[in-house]
Chain A
């Protein structure tokens, strides 16, 4: 049964192996992370001090737009799909994903989507400049011609996500090893199962809204054009019906990753496994009924405003349950602080801070002051950077020895952690202050009263960016010259993935394992 991968480029082009595809997803997402990071650093360089220095306002808007789109669709989502590809079959004791050929396809359309998206930077009129939320009619009637390429790129990304989700659902529901009941599945598998359903539910909505834009722009319809009987606010409702679940798509798999890591390094089983599963499901359900809290200032009727305020506040309950469970897992454990654990603990603390500002934003009257300011920017970067990025990083450190059979350097890993941790807080914590002081988001220039916080943010951003280059170096040097890792890697980790050799053979679980 021992046959290895094909040789040369075709191995990667034609592969149907979940490990190869997982690796490609992860490398692709890292490339996008760096690209999106470069866009962010252009923004932070311009905002280093008041006045226009580096980019003109139109290019600045293109940078904020592409930064958001590339980070959301190019970095975070493919990274989670990459981790799912690598880990889900190994975690449920399956030989591969259920639909391997579609798996290849869902990855390989992504590079084309992003090439198309980024190429708009070089088109006449420039790249999309209407923000990653692309509110109509700025993104329709008033958009640069490249908007059509943006629409098609979004369609392709959506198709990729939907195919990836179908594959994950099919794998989890059909290919679990004998004895692996649903309530025995690792939480990463559970959170991804729920995430995949969210994706299937909302990606078509995104496809719908961009198609309506396409119609408005090229075929004379007026979905979002008030002059033709349409409604610009309709766009926001449809977009956020996609957009809010999308936020949870970027955080639920993260919950799964830290739920695997914290018990390993606390040397104590995860506290409240079943309540974690129910809380995840509750968050997923709530994510569908809170979308209009992004639109508190759009002038909804009072009853609508109150409904969305209450529903949004409710999210704090299941999210709180998760945080309490992680805390209880650590309590009376026997903790060590290897790199994955450091990232996971930082995740819990910083994500909770992002949750606090989320709770404040839920209060509709207060949101009238917070809305569209840097306070919001601080909030969603606190949930997304420590949330998604830190958890992915933690996952990479945690499973890298299993993937490549080599151990990373703990000193380097910890250096990376502290640089990233300090950089992140320097960048995003002052944004709470500049936002409360009154700085709107998405502006290329500002009054001097915001100057000091912005200068600190910019310094932090460059530090954070530098830390990620160190990350790249650590991963490559581990693959090339790391010390041999043991099969178990950690002291007593739980899960089927630790029962196979390190590095994990090209084919694992050709015969299903017995789960007791």
Chain B
């Protein structure tokens, strides 16, 4: 398991430690990776090729320029009794080292241009997925399939705080995967709900900013089944480092089966809207929902972050009128970080979380609300 030096002089131990922990972890996590992954799409492989080509150009130029420089530093030093030359101008040389770089740049620009043109062609897609960035989770809508869900970080808090050993996919694991079929051209329509995020999966060679109010498009065609991990790449606030992406590429049949399963799950949730829950059921479910969707800002203890995220403990909406509480959760508060959770959570989950917030942390309001109340609220009744 991963064990890193805690506390005492890890500075001095670092080199030894890195070697020893390398061996114990070799089978779990790839270490000392130093280059871009080639990836599993034609785009990512193409980009990798460009990257390596640029790298070798730079190495070549570096060898020549630094070669001359080090030659001078070794052989043209005063301590060797060298008398300085006095030349200080040569139009021919200046022209030469202007023209040669221009030629090299044209050689570099040519393949970059062709691959950029290919990369920009997202026409004739087999399917569309709408990706929406939220603080701090991703939402995936399978257009035309009526399947839609949020994907949250699933690494337990204890691992982050160092109270439990870190798992092999630490910070790169989610509760829901973006499941897609292999060998299909998938168009991603990317936007955001609040601030700018960026959807990035290195193995696919796809990175696109998610910009609120605008939809940007890009595409991929994954050639190998597998699980590919990525992260948000644009600073989006406090938990920017904690909104990973997991793409699972499966065969066409597995993908269809998964879609049907998702639809059935959604139907079951809708069914629950008309059910009446007991207080304990709502409270228990609410705690789960709260920790997943609310605790990032309002904190697990409900106290928020002073000046940034309001406290729910003993003050504010959670101890005010219940209708207002439901309204804030469902519709959010314009102009603040409080999102409209009506679109993100099911009626059951909203009812549960409202019930939880009104009764947790010593709030003890003693009241509760049912999924059907939330449904009615959303319908404007």
Query: Which chain A residues have a beta carbon within 8 Å of chain B's beta carbons?
Result: 48-53, 57-58, 61, 123-126, 129-131, 135, 137-138, 141-142, 144-145, 225-227, 231-233, 266-275, 297-299, 302, 305-306, 309-310, 313-314, 316-317, 320-321, 323-324, 327-337, 345, 348-349, 352-353, 356-357, 359-360, 363-366, 368-369, 371-373, 432-433, 436-438, 440-449, 451-453, 455-456, 459, 462
Contact = CB atoms under 8 A, between A and B. Distances in A.
A226 B195 CA distance: 10
B101 A317 contact: yes
B120 A335 contact: no
Contacts of A268: 84-86, 88
Nearest to A270: B88
Given A51-B160, A270-B88, A306-B116, 8 more contacts: A269-B88, A306-B113, A320-B98, A349-B69, A364-B116, A368-B119, A446-B241, A449-B33
Interface in B182-217: 194-196, 198, 200, 202, 205-209, 211-214, 216-217
A137 B77 contact: no
Q: Which 5 A-B pairs have the closest CB atoms?
A: A226-B213, A125-B307, A443-B241, A124-B307, A299-B216
A226 B212 contact: yes
B325 interface: no
B307 to A, nearest CB: 3
B93 interface: yes
24 contacts: A49-B4, A51-B162, A129-B238, A137-B212, A232-B211, A297-B207, A298-B209, A298-B211, A313-B108, A317-B105, A320-B98, A327-B68, A327-B69, A331-B68, A333-B72, A334-B82, A360-B51, A365-B116, A366-B54, A368-B47, A371-B233, A373-B233, A433-B33, A446-B241
Contacts of A309: 109, 112-113, 116
Contacts of B162: 51-53
Interface in B83-98: 83-90, 93-94, 97-98
B30 to A, nearest CB: 6
Contact of A297 (B69, B73, B208): B208
B235 interface: yes
Contacts of B10: 48-49, 455
B330 interface: no
Nearest to A130: B235
Contacts of A328: 93
Per DSSP, are chain B's interface residues mostly helix, strand or loop, or mixed? Answer: mixed
B50 interface: yes
B367 interface: no
Contacts of B36: 369, 436-437
A266 B97 contact: no
Contact of A447 (B90, B172, B308, B336): B172
Contact of B337 (A142, A306, A313): A142
Contact of A123 (B73, B108, B307, B335): B307
A440 B196 CA distance: 15
Contacts of B108: 313, 359, 363
A225 B162 CA distance: 39
A365 B108 CA distance: 12
A485 B53 CA distance: 51
B338 to A, nearest CB: 11
Interface string B147-175: 00000000000011110001001111000
Contacts of A299: 208-209, 211, 214, 216-217
Nearest to B195: A138
A49 B17 CA distance: 12
Interface size range on B against A = 35 or more
A455 B232 CA distance: 23
A125 B306 contact: yes
B18 interface: yes
B116 A437 contact: no
B25 interface: yes
A135 B212 CA distance: 12
A496 B298 CA distance: 64
B90 to A, nearest CB: 7
Nearest to A440: B233
Contacts of B89: 271-274
A379 to B, nearest CB: 12
Interface in B46-102: 46-47, 50-51, 54-55, 57-58, 61-62, 65-66, 68-69, 71-73, 76-79, 82-90, 93-94, 97-98, 101-102
A232 B207 contact: no
A360 B77 CA distance: 34
Interface string B10-23: 11001000100010
Contacts of A462: 11
A369 B308 contact: no
Contact of A368 (B97, B113, B207): B207
A266 B71 CA distance: 13
A56 to B, nearest CB: 8
A446 B171 contact: yes
Contacts of B214: 226, 231-233, 299
B58 A356 contact: yes
Contact of A335 (B37, B73, B216): B73
A445 B169 CA distance: 13
Contacts of A266: 76, 84
A122 to B, nearest CB: 11
A446 B162 CA distance: 13
Contacts of A53: 162
Nearest to B112: A363
A50 B83 CA distance: 55
B213 A451 contact: no
Nearest to B19: A452
A105 B203 CA distance: 54
Contact of B35 (A330, A366, A436): A436
A225 B254 CA distance: 41
B58 A359 contact: yes
A448 B31 contact: yes
Given A125-B306, A135-B196, A446-B241, A141 B335 contact: yes
A321 B98 contact: yes
Contacts of B331: none
Contact of A360 (B58, B93, B306): B58
Contacts of B61: 356
A80 to B, nearest CB: 25
Given A125-B306, A316-B105, A360-B55, A231 B213 contact: yes
Contacts of B206: 368
A231 to B, nearest CB: 7
Contacts of A51: 159-162, 166
Contact of A330 (B76, B86, B170, B241): B76
A236 B86 CA distance: 48
A2 B198 CA distance: 64
